[in-house]
Structure 1
């Protein structure tokens, strides 16, 4: 009787054990994939990277003048440079909030990034989906504006990224840039599409590509001399556990996204590019 009782109990409990093992196996396989990128920006385009909760990220961005901008400026290094210093904080694993100040036009940007979907190792969710936005204030003197509202602009971007393997990651990111004040005949809103990629050539070193195309359509259908040029960037990234350094050439000098997309006049393929670098540093609390 005892043997039969043990056999009966075993038969009752064995399906539960199998279910528990299967759930444990599924939870391991379906863990979130590692971030597609290793820095919060790929040159000028935000990525899917969201530092863990209670992380402070310090950001320093520098853009020299264009390499063909003069005869005595040492490939733009002695020319007027644009600089942005900023920081972001992660109150949650899927949220960052930040602030930055930029030299050109004294732009003060308040930004945020939200993780919507995370790519899983099982492939059940094949991509990351992240939202990035900012609200920017032009802090130049009052005589530059007819009304206070002309100082304001904002930017919204949906970042769709995928980590294909340990070396290759790519993203596509549609965006909308809005300025309250624009030149005559120019629209206040511009839709753009950014494409970016990273390929690792060593555990700490990656090649970066960043491209942005603005879709311009004026009220009268005619092209304007002030129409923005595409943004093209090529660079290299050096990464440690808490620090990233990106060195690149780019046609963008504005740093703040909507400034670049709506007003860039540099044509990369005509030699209108500059040397720039980004530095980020993480502090965990």
Structure 2
């Protein structure tokens, strides 16, 4: 654990200060807001935030989750076991973005649409954004599921993201969510799952904030856990870099929300990061 924390500290310092000549760029990036958004990154930790891309803006996303740090030296505190997500996001308009990603864990492809419904202003207290995902699990094998059809690979997510920027330093978000899975094990989960999420961001310096989020799954059995994640946003030139700890190793939206397996109280935690590059 000491080695992991030392690695995190060194990694954060390098990323925060190695690109001083580019730091000014972050303040000139295009934005969809007349005032600053509630969140600087498109995700609070792993869950989506109300931030959208600007029109004709491209994002490249690289998300990485290492293995369970409680395994100790056997798997080098999780560094031997990793799951990676690669994705692209495109701003169709200032109020609509489309995304496509693929995660190594369960070889999951996700197509997403994120769209602004209501904007926080002097006359309305919150920002409201809709988010929809269709995912395809390509890891399913007909040897295990002889009657498998393409539709069985699909699952769906619908979210209402409701945020409020209380000050320059502090923002909160509620995320009521609904997940439907076409193929599921009724012994450990339901095909229809309702969740409620709470996430927040607190800015501790000009370029760094501390983030947290927690989702309660009202329709889950005891096998999977409610996802709880803590993270740090680091703003550098042209990037928002997020370091995080979570009890879910999955990067995909649906997998993260419904398939968390770690227990914080037992140290079953996954270290990871999200990296965005805007073009």
Fold equivalence (TM over 0.5) = yes
Aligned to 2:83: 82
**Partner SS for 1:41:** coil
Aligned ranges for residues 1-285 of structure 1 at < 5 Å? 32-78=34-80, 80-120=81-121, 122=122, 124-140=123-139, 141-145=141-145, 146-148=147-149, 149-185=151-187, 186-216=189-219, 224-226=221-223, 228-240=224-236, 242-283=238-279
Q: Which runs of 5+ in 2 are unaligned?
A: 1-32
Q: Which has the larger radius of gyration?
A: 1
Determine if contact 1:54/1:90 at 8 Å carries over to the other structure.
yes
TM-score under structure 2 normalisation?
0.83
- Runs (5+) with no aligned partner, structure 1: 1-30, 218-223
Distance in 1 (CA, whole Å) between partners of 2:47 and 2:235 is 17
* Cα distance in 1 between the residues matched to 2:144 and 2:277: 35
Residues 1:205 and 1:75: Cα distance change in structure 2 (over 3 Å) = same
Deviation at 1:212, TM superposition (A): 1.2
TM-score scaled by length of structure 1: 0.81
Supply the RMSD in Å over aligned alpha carbons: 1.6
Residue of structure 2 equivalent to 1:220? none
> How far has the Cα of 1:262 moved from its partner?
2.2
Aligned length: 243
> Using the alignment, how far apart are the partners of 1:268 and 1:102 within structure 2?
24
Task: Tell me, in whole angstroms, the C-alpha distance in 1 between the residues paired with 2:132 and 2:144.
Answer: 25
Rounded Cα–Cα distance in structure 1 between residues aligned with 2:274 and 2:202: 18
Q: Give 1:143 deviation, angstroms.
A: 3.0
Taking the aligned partners of 1:225 and 1:195, their CA distance within structure 2 comes to 21
- Give the secondary-structure state (helix, strand or coil) at the position aligned to 2:70: coil
Equivalent residues of 2:192, 2:219 under 8 A apart:
no
Structure 2 Cα separation of the partners of residues 216 and 134 of structure 1: 19
**Partner SS, residue 261 of structure 1:** helix
The alpha-carbon deviation at position 232 of structure 1 amounts to 1.1
Q: Aligned with 1:158: secondary structure?
A: strand
Aligned to 2:24: none
Deviation at 1:107, TM superposition (A): 0.3
- 8 Å Cα contact 1:129/1:161 also seen in 2: yes
Q: Using the alignment, how far apart are the partners of 1:280 and 1:37 within structure 2?
A: 14
Tell me the distance in 1 between the aligned counterparts of 2:119 and 2:236. Answer: 23
